[in-house]
A and B are shown apart, each in its own frame.
Chain A
Amino acid sequence: MTEPASASRLQLTENLDLKAAGPLRSELLTLRHTPLDLDASNVQRLGGLCLQVLMSAQATWAADAMPFAISSPSPAFQEALSLFGAEDLQPFVQQG
Chain B
Amino acid sequence: MDPLEAIKVTFFQECEEQLSELESGLLAMEQGETDSETVNAVFRAVHSIKGGAGAFSLEPLVRFAHVFETTLDDVRAGKLAPDNNVVKVMLRAADVLADHVRAARDGGVVEEARSQELAAALEALNGAAAPASIVSEDFDDMPGLDFTPLTVSDDDGFGDDFGFTPLAAGIIDLEPEGPALRRWTVQLRPKNALYAKANETGLLLRELKRLGDIEVSIDGSELPGLAELEPEHAYLSWTIVLTTDRSQSDIQEVFEFVDGDCDLTITADQLTSSLPMMGEASIDEPFDVMALIQQARADVQAAPAAAIMAEILAAPAPAPVFAASAPSVPAPAAATATAAAGVAPDAAHGAAAQQATIRVDLDRVDRLIDLVGELVINQAMLAQRVTESGVPRSSNIAMGLDDLEHLTREIQDSVMAIRAQPVKSVFQRMPRLVREVAAMTGKQVRLVTEGEGTEVDKTVIERLTDPITHMIRNAIDHGLERPEVRVAAGKGPEGTVRLSAAHRSGRIVIEVSDDGKGIDRPRVRQIAIDKGLIEVDSNLSDEDVDNLIFMPGFSTASSVSDISGRGVGMDVVKRSIQGLGGRIAITSRPGQGSTFTLSLPLTLAVLDGMVVSVCDHTLVAPLTAIIESLQPKAQDVRAIGPDAYVIAIRDTYTPLIDVGAMLGYRTTPLDPTKGVALLVEGEGGARAALMVDAIQGQRQVVIKSLEANYRQVEGIAAATILGDGRVALILDVDNVVAARRREKARSDAKLAAAG
Q: Indicate whether A and B interact.
A: yes
Which A residues form the contact surface with B (CB < 8 A)?
17-18, 21-22, 24-25, 28-29, 32, 45-49, 51-53, 55-57, 59-60, 63, 80, 82-88
Cross-chain contact B218 with A45 (CB below 8 angstroms): no
For the A-B complex, the count of residue pairs with Cβ-Cβ distances under 8 Å equals: 91
Chain B residues 259 to 284 lying within 8 A of chain A, measured CB to CB, are: none
The answer to whether B202 has its CB under 8 Å from any CB of chain A is yes
Q: Which B residues touch A29, using CB under 8 A?
A: 226-227
Q: Which A residues touch B206, using CB under 8 A?
A: 83
The answer to whether B205 has its CB under 8 Å from any CB of chain A is yes
Cross-chain contact B229 with A84 (CB below 8 angstroms): no
Q: A56-B223, A85-B238 are in contact. List 14 more A-B contacts (CB 8 A).
A: A17-B155, A18-B155, A18-B198, A18-B232, A52-B229, A53-B231, A56-B226, A59-B225, A60-B226, A63-B225, A83-B202, A84-B216, A85-B217, A87-B217
Q: Which A residues touch B240, using CB under 8 A?
A: 85
Q: How far is the CA of A53 from the CA of B157 in the complex (A)?
A: 20
Q: How far is the CA of A83 from the CA of B214 in the complex (A)?
A: 9
Q: How close is B647's CB to chain A, nearest CB, in angstroms?
A: 65
Cross-chain contact A88 with B218 (CB below 8 angstroms): yes
Q: Which B residues touch A21, using CB under 8 A?
A: 231-232
Q: Which B residues touch A56, using CB under 8 A?
A: 223-226, 229, 235
17 examples of A-B residue contacts, CB within 8 angstroms: A18-B232, A21-B232, A24-B231, A32-B227, A46-B202, A48-B190, A52-B223, A52-B235, A52-B236, A53-B231, A56-B229, A59-B220, A60-B226, A63-B225, A80-B202, A83-B209, A87-B218
Partner among B155, B215, B216, B223 whose Cβ is within 8 Å of the Cβ of A59: B223
The answer to whether B585 has its CB under 8 Å from any CB of chain A is no
The answer to whether B249 has its CB under 8 Å from any CB of chain A is no
Cross-chain contact B226 with A28 (CB below 8 angstroms): yes
Q: How far is the CA of A52 from the CA of B231 in the complex (A)?
A: 8
Q: How close is B375's CB to chain A, nearest CB, in angstroms?
A: 45
The answer to whether B195 has its CB under 8 Å from any CB of chain A is yes
The answer to whether B201 has its CB under 8 Å from any CB of chain A is yes
Q: Which residue of B lies closest to A88 (CB)?
A: B220
Q: Which residue of A lies closest to B215 (CB)?
A: A85
Q: Map CB proximity to A onto B192-225 as digits: 1 under 8 Å, 0 otherwise.
A: 0001001011100110010000011110100111
The answer to whether B158 has its CB under 8 Å from any CB of chain A is yes
Q: Which residue of A lies closest to B155 (CB)?
A: A18
Q: How close is A60's CB to chain B, nearest CB, in angstroms?
A: 4
**Contact flag A49-B226 (CB < 8 Å), given A18-B198, A83-B206, A85-B216:** no
Q: Which B residues touch A82, using CB under 8 A?
A: 216
Q: Is the interface of B mostly helix, strand, loop or mixed?
A: loop
Q: Which A residues touch B201, using CB under 8 A?
A: 47-48, 84
Shortest 4 CB-CB contacts between residues of A and residues of B: A85-B216, A48-B201, A21-B231, A22-B231
Cross-chain contact B231 with A84 (CB below 8 angstroms): no
Q: How close is A92's CB to chain B, nearest CB, in angstroms?
A: 14
Q: Map CB proximity to A onto B220-257 as digits: 1 under 8 Å, 0 otherwise.
A: 10011111010110111010100000000000000000
Partner among A48, A86, A87 whose Cβ is within 8 Å of the Cβ of B200: A48
Partner among B157, B205, B226, B234 whose Cβ is within 8 Å of the Cβ of A57: B226
Q: How far is the CA of A5 from the CA of B713 in the complex (A)?
A: 64
Q: Which B residues touch A48, using CB under 8 A?
A: 190, 195, 200-202, 234, 236
Q: Which residue of A lies closest to B153 (CB)?
A: A18
Cross-chain contact A47 with B226 (CB below 8 angstroms): no
Q: Which residue of A lies closest to B227 (CB)?
A: A29
Q: How close is A87's CB to chain B, nearest CB, in angstroms?
A: 7
Q: How far is the CA of A25 from the CA of B231 in the complex (A)?
A: 7
Cross-chain contact A18 with B195 (CB below 8 angstroms): yes
Q: How far is the CA of A52 from the CA of B198 in the complex (A)?
A: 16
Cross-chain contact A49 with B218 (CB below 8 angstroms): no
Q: Which A residues touch B195, using CB under 8 A?
A: 18, 48-49
**Contact flag A53-B218 (CB < 8 Å), given A18-B195, A48-B236:** no
**Contact flag A84-B218 (CB < 8 Å), given A48-B200, A48-B201:** yes
Q: Which A residues touch B234, using CB under 8 A?
A: 48-49, 52
Q: Which A residues touch B217, using CB under 8 A?
A: 85, 87
Q: Which B residues touch A85, using CB under 8 A?
A: 215-218, 238, 240
Chain B residues 521 to 557 lying within 8 A of chain A, measured CB to CB, are: none
Q: Which A residues touch B235, using CB under 8 A?
A: 52, 56
Cross-chain contact A60 with B227 (CB below 8 angstroms): yes
Q: How far is the CA of A32 from the CA of B228 in the complex (A)?
A: 13
**Contact flag A53-B220 (CB < 8 Å), given A22-B232, A48-B200:** no
